[in-house]
Chain A
């Protein structure tokens, strides 16, 4: 059974700063997902990382996957207030088109 751990769970940072959210998972997986959730809203897909060494970037967010270390990172560059949200990483529970196992989420607050 896949276990997913994120850290930190809470992060308060100032605009303009850089920071990284870490996602460790317990069993071998060739895919890792990052989602964003705003308060009271559903989950918005940010990245799907499909192979070891995969790196994807969208605006100020960049995600990477190291399957050997069972680690994914979400890096925020020059944070802006609009990026305040909860970020979840998730992995397939058992391979294939399975349901996902999610981490507890990182609640990110970016202060002006």
Chain B
């Protein structure tokens, strides 16, 4: 079974430029998460989707960040414009969702390492 796929793996951009990250979750997983991980820290939740609905975006800086999950499968996270402080690893995770206790486990993708110069 394929894991969570993310692209690109690395991205270097200048500040004020836009950038987008793509995530393909594990097949059949209804719940998708985007996390941000700063160097030396644990991941922090940005947004959670149940199918195509964003059910928790309270931590997403909406002035410059946006996300979508059309058709409830793949998801895209966008930053426009990027700032120096956005340099971090952006992780996507998926989960089978509610319905059984094992469904709560989250599986993480390899991440996209963003450097803003």
Contacts and interface: CB of A to CB of B under 8 A. Distances in A.
Interface of A: 4, 31, 33, 35, 41-45, 48, 50, 88, 90, 92-93, 96-105
Contacts of A48: 102, 104-105
Nearest to B34: A99
B106 A45 contact: yes
B40 to A, nearest CB: 8
Interface residues on B, range: 20 to 34
Interface of B: 31, 33, 35, 40-45, 48, 50, 56, 91, 95, 97-98, 101-111
A69 to B, nearest CB: 21
A90 B44 CA distance: 11
A42 B110 contact: yes
Contacts of A99: 33, 35, 45, 48, 56
Contacts of A41: 110
Contact of A45 (B42, B44, B105): B105
Contacts of B105: 33, 45, 48
B44 to A, nearest CB: 7
B109 to A, nearest CB: 6
Contacts of B33: 99
Given A48-B102, A103-B42, 20 more contacts: A31-B104, A33-B105, A35-B108, A42-B110, A42-B111, A43-B108, A44-B108, A48-B104, A48-B105, A88-B42, A93-B45, A97-B97, A98-B48, A99-B33, A99-B35, A99-B48, A102-B43, A102-B44, A104-B42, A105-B42
A97 B41 contact: no
Contacts of B44: 102
Contacts of A103: 42
B104 A42 contact: no
B91 A42 contact: yes
B101 A45 contact: no
A72 to B, nearest CB: 15
Nearest 10 A/B pairs, CB to CB = A102-B42, A99-B45, A43-B108, A42-B108, A97-B98, A42-B110, A99-B48, A97-B97, A97-B31, A48-B105
